[in-house]
Each structure stands twice: as C-alpha cells, then as structure tokens.
Structure 1
Amino acid sequence: MDSDLRLLADKAKSWPFEEAKRILHRIGHKTPAKGFVLFETGYGPSGLPHIGTFGEVMRTTMVRRAFQILSDIPTRLFCFSDDMDGLRKVPDNVPNQEMLRQYLNKPLTQVPDPFEQYESFGHHNNAMLRRFLDSFGFEYEFQSSTDWYKSGRFDEYLKLVLTHYDEVMAVMLPSLREERRQSYSPFLPICPTTGRVLQVPIVSRDIEAATITYRDDASGELIEIPVTGGHCKLQWKADWGMRWRAFDVDYEMSGKDLIDSVKLSTQICRIIGGRPPENFTYELFLDEQGQKISKSKGNGLTIDEWLTYAPDVSLAYYMFQAPRKAKRLYFDVIPRHMDDYLTYLSKFDEQELVQKVDNPIWHIHNGNPPKAESSLSFSILLNLASVCNAEDPSILWGFVTRYQPDATPEKLPFLDKLIKHAIAYYHDRVLPEKEYREPTEMEKKALADLRTRLEQLAATATAEEIQTVVYDVGKNHPFSELKAWFSCLYEVLLGQSEGPRMGSFIELYGIPETISLIQSKL
C-alpha cells in the first residue's frame, strides 16, 4: 500500500475509516491468532431479502476496504444465514401461503420453496441474497447455519453453552416477559418426529453426554436429545454470542432495534470464553409512512425495484450517507440520491487526495471511480422524458446530442443507462401521477413574459443566462415568493409538483421547444 495514501487515510474523517481505526485499535495493530481480521454480517432468511440486508453488507465492505488501506493484515467477510431458524409466520409477499402454513416452526431449509425454484424456502431466500451480492462484486464467504450445525462444526461451542447453562439463563431470563420465562431455554430441540423447532422447557441436562431432556407436549414422554450434530439449535441471541465465539468475529454491524440484543449476546459470548466483536449500530430504514421496513410485510423497496429505476451506484451512495441517521426508503428518494452521486463524482478528479479519501465516491468505488461522462443530471433527464412523454431512449438522445454533439450511447454507456432508467421511472412513477393545472390570469401574464424574453435570447444561450431570465420574470410579477413562480412552471408546464433547475432544463430541451410548450399552455 502506498505510504502517502496510508498516511492520508489515517487522518480521514469519513465513518468507514473511523470504524477501521477502531478495529486496528482492538487488535493492537497485530494480526490476530487466527491469521486474519473477520468481518461478519447476519441474515435471517424468513422472508425475501430487502435493501436493508444489502446495506449491511455494503457498509461492512466499506469498512473492510478502509481497513485494507490502513493495514496489510488479511481480512475475511462471512455472510451468515440463520437458515436453521424455524418459520415463525408466513410472509405476506410470497405465493402458496396455505402450503407454507403447514410448515410453520420447521427449519427454513426444511420448508418447501413457495416459488418452486429451490430445494427449500431458506435456499430460495439465500440464493436471492447471494445473486445480488455477486452481481455487485462483493468479496464474501457465504455461511449457512444449517451447514454449521449439522456438520458438527459448532459442537464444541454448543457444549460450552451447555456447560455454562445456568449463567446463560441468568443473563437471558431478566430480559423476558414472565410467561416466556416459564418455557425459555437457550437450546431449541428439533423434534425427532415432526422436525419442528421446539420452544420447550428443559427438564434436565447431562453435560458429560452433551444432551438435554424435555417433555413432549403430545405424549408427555421425556425425550433426551443431543445438543450437537444439528439435533438442537440455539435461540438467536444465544446463537449470536456463540457464533462470535466460534468464528472469533472482530466486527459486526446491527440495527438500532437490536441494541439490547447486542448487549445480551455480548454477555453470552464472554461467558463461554469469547471476545465480542466491535459493533456499529446503524439507524433503521423506514417506509414512506415512517414505519420500519420488514421482510415479512414487504414494505419499503426491494433491491430489484431500486435497480429498475437507477444504477447500483445510487443505492451504494444511499447506504454510505449518514448510517447513524434514520432513512426513508421509498421511490421518491431514488432521483435525489442518483443526482447526489453524480455531483460527488464530478468533484472527485478536481480534489486533492486528502479530500478524495473522504468523498463517498472513494468508498463506493474502492478508490478507483469511473470518469464522469456528462454534466447532465438524472433529474434533468427525468423531466425531459416527462415533457417529451418519452418511451424510447432515442428521443432523449436527440436532445442530448444537441447539448453534447459528439455524445453517443456507445461512447457514453453510463449516460445511456441513466436515460433508460429515467424513462422507466417516468413511465412507472411519474406518468400515473401527472396532473397539469391551468395557469391563473396573473400566471398567464408571467408565462407570456417568459415566452417573449426567451424569444429574445440567442439559440446558444447558456443555462446560466436562461436561469437569469427565468428569475427576472418571476421577480417582475406579483408572486408571493419566487418559489410560487417555480411551482407555477412545474405544475403548468410539467404536470408535477417539483421539477428541475429551469435554466439547465431549457438549455437541454431547447429554447424554441420551450417557447412552443409555453404557447401550448396559453
């Protein structure tokens, strides 16, 4: 690693570098005994993966990359799926729900795939997560809870939990409601006859034989079962702490809603002789109504929905920004984050290296971003598609080539991708809500004035010159504030409540075309 870059990165203030420094402090700047620093992300595949799942891997990867700049110590990233967990409820957003109800409480890797594509529901949801992580180019090692339990690789650590059973119970019981305390055990037996994950009281345990005994609800019979070999799994908080011990995890993120769980799992990890990882708590993702997004409810956006309307870099930028602040996750955030990404990209080449390492673009592209292809924003393209009622990218390219004569889809593939996304967003998200209004008499006079002023401009007028004219017209008419003038332009000319910077838009759309558009509204 370049020594100058490492020195600058050590002074960087962006949150991934701050987190990487915490990890270095944790290990004393020395390679751990296992030979590498281990990052982990966890995933419960009880429903379809949502963007929050992706975000955890994206953000953890950003910290890992920052660490790799600061240190030559090897790193690994485990993406762990708790796919041996029982199916507790049927998600709202999947087919064959009646079929799934027959498999409640069975391990997710034993529940048939309602989509009829994979060997189980757990395998289906794991595959969906991996597909996107692979397409984004993440470097990770996928780990399955079912594989670890059934292969016996967790056995040593399950025995430790059994040995320290009373101490683990002392940690967990105060956190539970009275009713739950009566049946709680860190071990969940897998019923030998039904295959279901049971939440039953443990009658006795044999540390030497590594078994537990519970009473069967149906028959009243006492059942003795090994805690090893996949015959039991741990309640997830105990499982989390056990896993930190088994893997010797150095760093893991989790949402604000898991703060108490982190504390309990930390205690359990220490009880069985482990050192809990450095933890980073991020704020929750919210839907348009401000409710927490949920895999089972299917509110918020899916990964595929976001990528229908914008490139993946916009999603990466969304994840980078202020992870300790709650974020709304719905369709309207997409254009803004796409434009913010483009703004930071345009600045990148002009910045000194000390500024570049704190630019979000550095973390999105691991220090090696592409060149900015055009100064056109996504919002401008979106509004151009709206005015033209564009269904075909060639329509927008016709305007772009007037603005940027040597531009072609082959020369500017990212711009071509933006144009296609803008048309998709317009068609699906803008057109159904489009609602033009008639201008008032005062607004008609202002629009006529703007038409006249535009007619006096040269065809080659710049965006700034046009913007000055637009401002002057607004000031010369009795609008309560300039914002009301721009609202008039958006609502009358574009049929929407918000819109672009008019100077830039008119430059791209064309002065004669804008004059005709105004005339059509008068």
Structure 2
Amino acid sequence: MQRVIGKGTWLDKVAHLLVERERRLGRDLSLIRVESGLGASGIPHIGSLGDAVRAYGVKLALENLGYKGELIAYSDDMDGLRKIPHGLPEWLKEYIAMPVCNIPDPFTCHSSYAMHMSSMLMDALDRLSIQYRFQSGYEAYKQGLLNKEIDILLRNAKVIGERIAELVGQEKFKQILPYFPICSNCKRIYLAQAYEYVEDEHKVLYECKGGIIGREYVQGCGYKGEADVFKAEGKLSWKVEFAARWSALNIRFEAYGKDIMDSVKVNDWVADNILNYAHPLHVRYEMFLDKSGRKISKSAGNVFTPQLWLRYGTAESLMLLLFKRIAGTRHVGVEDIPRLEDEYDRLEDTYFNSSRIDISSSLSSASTTTADTMKLIKQRGIYEYINHNKPPSRAGEHVPYMLLAQLAAVAVEGKEVEYVLNRLRAYGMLKGSDGISERLRERILKARLYAIEVLQQRPESKAVSLDERQRKAIEDLIQVIGSSDDAKVIQSSIFDTARRHGIEPKEFFRLLYMLLIGTDYGPRLGPYIIDVGRDNVINILKRHLASV
C-alpha cells in the first residue's frame, strides 16, 4: 500500500520534497522558481531540452499542489567557444576562447552565435507549449543582477579557493580568483587570470597568460589590465556562478547531469556558506546516449536535436520521452519516434478508459492505494502533465505510427492525408468522413517524412524473436504474397498458413502486425499488403528473418 502524492509521478515526489524543504527553511512560498541552464556554446540536443522540460514538469507539479511556480531558462551566453561543433564553418577557429555572445552567427539569422543556439532551444520549448522566462547571462551581468553576489564571492576568494581544493582537488583557485575577465586586448575569456580584487572599485587586476581551451592549450596575449566586475567585462567561474545565480534569482530547484557533479558540490557549499543562501533542491539525472552508446555531444557530430524529433514526431511523444522517468541512462535515436508515438496513444487510452480515480489527495492525507491502482494513477498523471495539466475532453484517433508512415509513403504527393484517411476508413479504423483531428493530420504528414527520410535511407528492423515454426510460416507467406495480387486470397492464406504450421491464427496475425507496423493490432492484412505494396511487405518480412 502506498500513499499518493499529487498525481503519483516522480515529478510530484520532487515537488513534495521541495515544498517540505522550503517550509523547513522558512522561506516564502508565494513563488517557487525552478531553473534550467541553456548551453549556448553548441547546438542544443535532446539532453539539453530534457533539462528544461523536466524542470518545467516540477513547476507543473508544484502548481498541482497549489503553489505558483516559474521556470527560468538561463543562457550561459558569456561562455567561451572551446571547439567548433561538427558541421559549423572553419572560420570560427579565429573566435576560439571568445565569449559566444560576441561571436557572429554562422547562420547569419541572429545577432550572435549565442543567440542562435539559445533560440534553437527556445524554439523547441515554444513548440512544446512550455512556459518559461528567458534570462541571458550577458544581460544578467550587464544589468547588475549578480553584483551583490560577485562582490561577496570575490571578497571571500581565498577561503573559496581553499574549499574548492578540499572538495574536488582543484588547486588553481588558491592562486587565482574565481572570476574570468575578458581580456580587453585579445577579447578572449578563460585566458586572463585575475589575481587581485580591488574591493572599493569593484575591479579585478589580471594578466592574459593562457589556458586549456577544449583539449588544447591556447597562449595568452600577455596583456595586463583591469576589469570592472559590475560591467559585464568578465564572468564568474562555474565553480561559483551557479551559486550566484541561485541567490540572485531566488532559485529553489535545479536538476543536473552527472558530468557537472563537482561544480554542483562546490556551488552548494558556496551558496550555503558564503552567500548565506540555502542551495536549491537537486535531482541528478543520467545522460542521454546515442544508439551506439556514445554521449550525445554538441561537438562530436552525433547531436540529436529537438527539431529533428519534431520533424517526425509530435510534441506529445517528445514530452512523454522526457517525463517518463529521470533515473537511468537513456539510449535515444530517431528510431524511437514510432514507439513513443504509439506509447502515447496507449497512455491516452488508459487515461480515458480507466475509471475516474480520485488522485487529489492532499499532502497531509493518510490515504493509501494498491500497487496496480498506483500504476494507473501514475500513468494518468504523466498524461495530464504532458498536456500541461489541461487534458483534452476526449481521446484522439489512434492509428499505429508505422501504418501511417507506410500508407503515406505510397500516396501521391500532396494527397497524402486524403489517401491515408480513405484507406483507414476502408479498413474500418476510422468512422465517418468528418471530425478528424488536426493531430492525426499532423501525424500523417510527419510519418510520411519519416518513411521517406528515415526508413528508406536505413530500413533496419527491430529484431522480433521468432521460433522455427514462425520462421517457416513467414517464409511460406512470403511466397503467397509474391504470387498473388488479390487481397482476399492473401487474407485467407494467412489463416491457412498459420493452421498449416500449427499456429493459432490470432497469434499469427498479432506476430505479423508486430513485424510490419510495430504494434499488436492493425488493419485487415490482405488489403493493407496490397495498399502499401507487396514488394515492400516482402522486404520487411525478409529483413526480420535475416535479423534473428
């Protein structure tokens, strides 16, 4: 028996812990801010988006508990360019180590390199209908939002440097200040070392000596100068900048990836002990990996962008990917889109077909529930959060994504929607001629692009385990499909083939649906095979035979 918190999801558990912690700290609960950092030094990928979407999910859960929340999307646009991301022009080499907010946009459509990269992530957030407040790091420094924190940190630089060495073994901040000036001579950041803070003038003295940028040492220009820390002439080190942001913007929650564990550890200590601001509640998430097991990287050339997902999949399927869970490493690729599209449909079916369960138990309630009911409550909760706590009044049309892709691929260009809808009605999968949702129309067009740009380019099939009887039955069926163009003959031959090999026809049909469209249900197979093309179906079946 378990107690239900909010909607029963991991997001609700985090929101509950956050509220309880804030109460213990005695902080004002009239507005609870959550934050996500937007990296502006490379092309944003699914992992970058996941950080923001999950923070937004915590905001939704807070609002479900009766609190006002706000998501701050903070762009670190004063970060220095460390390497040229895969596919970007070589002329960017001359800007290595320069703040990305001061680098021209290589795509020539935004005011800077940083704004182009930030805008890609904001575009994805907008397309997911996520509410957030954008905060440019450069503007934060320029407007003086961090001035109080900068002054306190630099006044306490000695004790901070010693503590960094104790916590993570990094010695350099025992010799230099945790602040990186932009050299006024070569215009680069991370090369100049600030060695003294002139407190009454709010300036640091520095020498441009050089430093490791990416994996290479970049020689400094040797210039000695001073930088006004209240005028965006540099930025804080990551080892203290998070703490400054949390304090200045009153941030109560921020998740982080394990790749910045050391920075978070130091920043938590700095916030608590130097800035006298209790650090935010954290949740650590695992990284997204590509299908080969490599970390998805902005510079390695394996970036899987939100825009690519949304070219082939809906906003709902992408939200499902990011809301399902936060624990564990995730291998993700464009091949996951059909599965997530169908999974969202099943989630919607569960939501509308389940009996209405009271999930509004308050945090103070002692109510409990069984494991099966808890699972159902979680599924309903995730569905509502995917729909921004405003679920539709009824379910949409549910058609396997791969069926849409295969039908749309053989349709006349420009007539894809009309053709697919006509065939679905012929299969009995749609009723009537009116009332088709815009989401189904959108999925048809996206599925057609997936069929043409993904399936036709790399038509690999996900392996389905087959026993010897099933293999022999499929081999026989391939012969029938190849020799007959009559839908009725093919339909009846499926029954005959199943019985001939000692397989229950119902189970054989379910197997064929899994092999052909990735679900255990679908249209009448005889007409479907004729519609999508006998050769196409034979090729799919042969690939499955070859993959096991």
Alignment TM-score > 0.5, same fold:
yes
Structural mapping, 1:243-392, within 5 Å:
243-270=245-272, 271-351=274-354, 352-353=356-357, 354=359, 355-356=376-377, 358-359=379-380, 360-370=382-392, 371-385=394-408, 388=410, 391=413, 392=416
Distance 2:230 2:444 in 1: 56
Query: Where does residue 213 of structure 1 map in the other structure?
Result: 205
8 A Cα contact 1:248 1:275, kept in partner = no
Return 196-205 or 177-186, whichever deviates more.
Answer: 177-186
Distance 1:284 1:334 in 2: 19
Distance 2:250 2:334 in 1: 39
Query: Where does residue 465 of structure 2 map in the other structure?
Result: none
Q: Secondary structure at the match of 1:224?
A: strand
Distance 2:188 2:157 in 1: 23
Query: Where does residue 365 of structure 2 map in the other structure?
Result: none
8 A Cα contact 1:31 1:37, kept in partner = no
1:500 and 2:517 matched: yes
8 A Cα contact 1:79 1:141, kept in partner = yes
8 A Cα contact 1:467 1:503, kept in partner = no
- How much does 1:97 deviate? 2.5
Q: Secondary structure at the match of 2:197?
A: strand
Query: Where does residue 192 of structure 1 map in the other structure?
Result: 184
8 A Cα contact 1:356 1:362, kept in partner = no
After TM superposition, the score normalised by the length of structure 1 is: 0.82
- How much does 1:175 deviate? 6.2
1:426 and 2:451 matched: yes
8 A Cα contact 1:86 1:197, kept in partner = yes
Matched residue type, 1:380: L
8 A Cα contact 2:41 2:81, kept in partner = yes
Query: Where does residue 241 of structure 1 map in the other structure?
Result: 243
Query: Where does residue 227 of structure 1 map in the other structure?
Result: 229
8 A Cα contact 1:65 1:366, kept in partner = yes
Change in CA separation of 1:518 and 1:122 when aligned onto 2, cut-off 3 Å? closer
Distance 1:513 1:206 in 2: 80
- How much does 1:18 deviate? 0.4
Change in CA separation of 1:366 and 1:514 when aligned onto 2, cut-off 3 Å? closer
Distance 1:213 1:297 in 2: 36
8 A Cα contact 1:106 1:195, kept in partner = yes
Return 137-146 or 377-386, whichever deviates more.
Answer: 377-386
Task: Work out which of the residue numbers 65, 70, 81 in structure 2 matches 1:76.
Answer: 70
Matched residue type, 2:386: I
Task: Work out which of the residue numbers 94, 97, 107 in structure 1 matches 2:90.
Answer: 97
- How much does 1:341 deviate? 0.5
Query: Where does residue 123 of structure 1 map in the other structure?
Result: 115
Deviations 1:389-417 (A, max 9, x none): 77533332221111245444762322222
Change in CA separation of 1:394 and 1:162 when aligned onto 2, cut-off 3 Å? same
1:475 and 2:497 matched: no
Q: Secondary structure at the match of 2:124?
A: helix
Distance 2:194 2:323 in 1: 45
- How much does 1:247 deviate? 1.6
- How much does 1:27 deviate? 1.6
- How much does 1:313 deviate? 0.7
* Aligned-pair identity (%): 24
Query: Where does residue 546 of structure 2 map in the other structure?
Result: none
Matched residue type, 2:228: P
Query: Where does residue 439 of structure 2 map in the other structure?
Result: 414
- How much does 1:12 deviate? 4.0
Matched residue type, 2:269: Q
Deviations 1:80-104 (A, max 9, x none): 001011222221232x321x22222
- How much does 1:444 deviate? 5.2
8 A Cα contact 1:39 1:250, kept in partner = yes
Change in CA separation of 1:367 and 1:258 when aligned onto 2, cut-off 3 Å? same
1:149 and 2:141 matched: yes
Return 343-352 or 375-384, whichever deviates more.
Answer: 375-384
Deviations 1:95-127 (A, max 9, x none): x321x2222222111111111112211121122
Unpaired runs of at least 5, structure 2: 210-219, 360-375, 462-469, 540-548
8 A Cα contact 1:214 1:222, kept in partner = yes
8 A Cα contact 2:154 2:177, kept in partner = no
Structural mapping, 1:37-52, within 5 Å:
37-52=32-47
Change in CA separation of 1:433 and 1:46 when aligned onto 2, cut-off 3 Å? closer
Change in CA separation of 1:125 and 1:512 when aligned onto 2, cut-off 3 Å? closer
Return 185-194 or 315-324, whichever deviates more.
Answer: 185-194
After TM superposition, the score normalised by the length of structure 2 is: 0.79
8 A Cα contact 1:467 1:502, kept in partner = no
8 A Cα contact 1:256 1:281, kept in partner = yes
Matched residue type, 1:398: N
- How much does 1:317 deviate? 0.5
Change in CA separation of 1:19 and 1:451 when aligned onto 2, cut-off 3 Å? same
Matched residue type, 2:142: K
- How much does 1:195 deviate? 2.2
8 A Cα contact 2:411 2:419, kept in partner = no
- How much does 1:340 deviate? 0.4
Q: Secondary structure at the match of 1:308?
A: helix
8 A Cα contact 2:75 2:118, kept in partner = yes
- How much does 1:309 deviate? 0.9
Distance 2:14 2:460 in 1: 47
Distance 1:329 1:299 in 2: 11
Unpaired runs of at least 5, structure 1: 1-7, 491-496
8 A Cα contact 2:400 2:517, kept in partner = no
Distance 2:537 2:278 in 1: 71
Structural mapping, 1:53-68, within 5 Å:
53-68=48-63
Distance 2:5 2:87 in 1: 45
- How much does 1:187 deviate? 0.8
8 A Cα contact 2:165 2:171, kept in partner = no
Distance 2:487 2:105 in 1: 66
8 A Cα contact 2:473 2:497, kept in partner = no
Bigger RCO of structures 1 and 2 (CA < 8 A, at least 6 apart): 2
Change in CA separation of 1:350 and 1:213 when aligned onto 2, cut-off 3 Å? same
Query: Where does residue 162 of structure 2 map in the other structure?
Result: 170
Distance 1:428 1:420 in 2: 12
Calculate the aligned-residue CA RMSD, in Å: 3.9
Change in CA separation of 1:221 and 1:385 when aligned onto 2, cut-off 3 Å? closer
Change in CA separation of 1:301 and 1:506 when aligned onto 2, cut-off 3 Å? same
Query: Where does residue 425 of structure 2 map in the other structure?
Result: 401
Change in CA separation of 1:31 and 1:134 when aligned onto 2, cut-off 3 Å? farther
- How much does 1:265 deviate? 1.2
Matched residue type, 2:160: V
Distance 1:68 1:32 in 2: 17
8 A Cα contact 1:9 1:17, kept in partner = no
Query: Where does residue 3 of structure 1 map in the other structure?
Result: none
Matched residue type, 2:83: K
Equivalences, count:
493
Distance 1:220 1:448 in 2: 77
Distance 2:486 2:113 in 1: 63
- How much does 1:446 deviate? 5.0
